[in-house]
Structure 1
């Protein structure tokens, strides 16, 4: 929640509801036909091999739209997991199950302020913003940062996600002490930021670090303990799909769905 949103008074309350409705109207919608999905903004025109589709400004989830050739598309509301599939990618984004663990373990909610580093595609930052948080996120690659800003607009959260170009480690002294409820990191130098977590987090605030490698994960966990953070724990994120056929049911024999390691700790 921004400072403007937190102002009291009945006029402010009604204005906030109005602003929220306007912001929701700007969020793109999904146009679905069979296995096809297109993310389109209200008022836009989209050309496909099935014809030209004009999306009304007042389009609503549940509507059915027709191309000029008569082919129908169903309108679906954008949901968090859809960001993973439709954001422009600059690398491997964090997968939905890992995002769910981050939000679930840290309790990110409306009114929280989050410091994020290693923006990349921006799926995590956007998901946290859609959960109600204000997010400041750092991305070192200027081109990646530009793509992330476009993705934030596409996800309808560009007003609450501040994508900054730069190395968060070089900006730590400029950040206000005890000003973040949660810190989320997906960077090779995450341990350097974790060392400063007690200074940056509010009492009871959380830090969550994602890493694909055990070595950096161990460094993060050790640094968290040295910084006197509490409840330091690391989990491997792994998931197997199930197969069901006439012979029986069993886990899939496809490669095991390991993605990485998540380390959590709390400031007390």
Structure 2
């Protein structure tokens, strides 16, 4: 079932609800109709208006129930841009966490099998996939991916391997067995030591087009005095390794 973003424009409040669900706030109670659609204007019992918007990728990041720090949208954009992830792709993922990356890929039309080592985190991710309307595309499994690599290599080949785990190098070593020719690996890590380990593993098993990028982004401050990079916040989020099966 698809979810919608309900926005109260005047106060800029946002809530994620599926058709048929109820929203209770100090602005009143609102029953979301089963036939709710993008562009509708709904009223609470107190007469407060909420506008219905179609769910978009960034809304997953903003509204999913979090079990840790999810991958930032800017990093997800790099994963999609550097690997060409697209509808019909078969993706093997590990380190599901909140499930934002899996949700993005599922909404692109990819079929995702994702492993989360913490059973409670995995259950939360399943609920997030339902909220994001991608339960039919994202299979959240509780377990350690490295313990299932042999079976997965025998079962099917994937187009993309995405990893956000401390033991990512162990999975990267099996990439040639898991991926189709031309398939991509994308590994996110916040630590430079892990980034080095995964790149060395990628080169050791003969992957091509290997590169590791630090992701840095600064917002511009625009005011009456002029425009300059913001001095607030942290520009660095982590490191992304990309590699490809070339044989």
Instruction: Give me the TM-score of the superposition, normalised by structure 1.
Output: 0.89
For residues 42 and 255 of structure 1, the distance between their equivalents in structure 2, rounded to whole angstroms, comes to 37
Instruction: Specify the alignment match of 2:93 in structure 1.
Output: 116
- Spell out the pairing of 1:29-108 with structure 2 (5 A cutoff): 29-33=4-8, 34-108=11-85
Instruction: Specify the alignment match of 2:144 in structure 1.
Output: 167
Gaps of 5+ in 2: none
Equivalent of 2:236, from 242, 250, 258? 258
Structure 1 residue 250 displacement after superposition: 0.3
CA deviation map 1:29-87 (0-9, x unaligned): 01101320000110112111011111111111111011111111111110011000110
Structure 1 residue 256 displacement after superposition: 3.2
Q: Structure 1 202/75 Cα, relative in aligned 2: closer, same or farther at 3 Å?
A: same
For residues 176 and 119 of structure 2, the distance between their equivalents in structure 1, rounded to whole angstroms, comes to 29
Instruction: Specify the alignment match of 1:144 in structure 2.
Output: 121
For residues 65 and 233 of structure 2, the distance between their equivalents in structure 1, rounded to whole angstroms, comes to 26
For residues 182 and 242 of structure 1, the distance between their equivalents in structure 2, rounded to whole angstroms, comes to 34
For residues 118 and 181 of structure 1, the distance between their equivalents in structure 2, rounded to whole angstroms, comes to 18
List, as ranges, runs of 4+ consecutive aligned residues in structure 1 with deviation greater than 2 Å. Answer: none
Equivalent of 2:212, from 207, 221, 234? 234
RMSD over aligned CA atoms reads 0.9
Whether 1:219 aligns to 2:194 is no
Whether 1:127 aligns to 2:104 is yes
SS of 2:139 mapped into structure 1: strand
For residues 36 and 149 of structure 1, the distance between their equivalents in structure 2, rounded to whole angstroms, comes to 25
For residues 51 and 57 of structure 2, the distance between their equivalents in structure 1, rounded to whole angstroms, comes to 18
For residues 246 and 57 of structure 1, the distance between their equivalents in structure 2, rounded to whole angstroms, comes to 47
For residues 47 and 87 of structure 1, the distance between their equivalents in structure 2, rounded to whole angstroms, comes to 18
Structure 1 residues 52-61 or 186-195, which shifts more?
Answer: 52-61
For residues 56 and 117 of structure 2, the distance between their equivalents in structure 1, rounded to whole angstroms, comes to 28
Instruction: Give me the TM-score of the superposition, normalised by structure 2.
Output: 0.97
